[in-house]
Structure 1
Amino acid sequence: MFVCLCHGISDKKLRKLAIEEGISDMRTIRKCTSLGSQCGKCVKQAKEILTETQALQLAKVG
């Protein structure tokens, strides 16, 4: 599913960046993808996806 329609950024891309690159904050995501730089409607959902992905990673480790 697309999170950011303005830049064509999907939830899969966000999860991949979080898992493979270890990105855990919106500032870095925004630098890597320009997410939220147009209309900004995607930022809330992107934060939720990052939080969810981090929780799943911690559950796998623990």
Structure 2
Amino acid sequence: MYICICKKVTDGQIRKAVQEQDVTSMRCLRSKLGACDQCGKCAVQAKQLIRQCLHEKTVSDHNPRKAA
């Protein structure tokens, strides 16, 4: 699903950026993918997704059995 329509950034791309490119903030997301730097309507949803992915990453890092 598209999160940032202006830059054509999907939720999958954001998830991958958090997991593989160490995106941890909106500033990092803008830098890596260019998302959320035009109209800004997607910023709230993108920020929530980053937080969710970071939480999932933390849980899986602390419990390797659940990650498998």
Q: TM-score normalized by structure 2? A: 0.86
* Cα shift at 1:37: 1.6
Q: Which runs of 4+ in 1 moved over 4 A?
A: none
State the Cα distance separating 1:32 from its structure 2 match. 1.6
Q: Percent identity over the alignment?
A: 29
Please tell me the root mean square deviation across aligned C-alpha atoms, in Å: 0.8
Structure 2, unpaired ranges of 5+: 63-68
Alignment partner of 2:3: what SS? strand
The reply on whether 1:3 has 2:13 as its aligned counterpart is no
Note the C-alpha offset of 1:19.
0.1
Q: What is the CA deviation profile of residues 3-52 of structure 1, one whole-angstrom value per residue up to 9, with x for unaligned ones?
A: 00111000000000000011101101111222112110011000000000
Aligned length: 62
Ranges in structure 1 where 5+ consecutive residues have no aligned partner:
none
Computing the radius of gyration from Cα coordinates, the structure with the larger value is 2
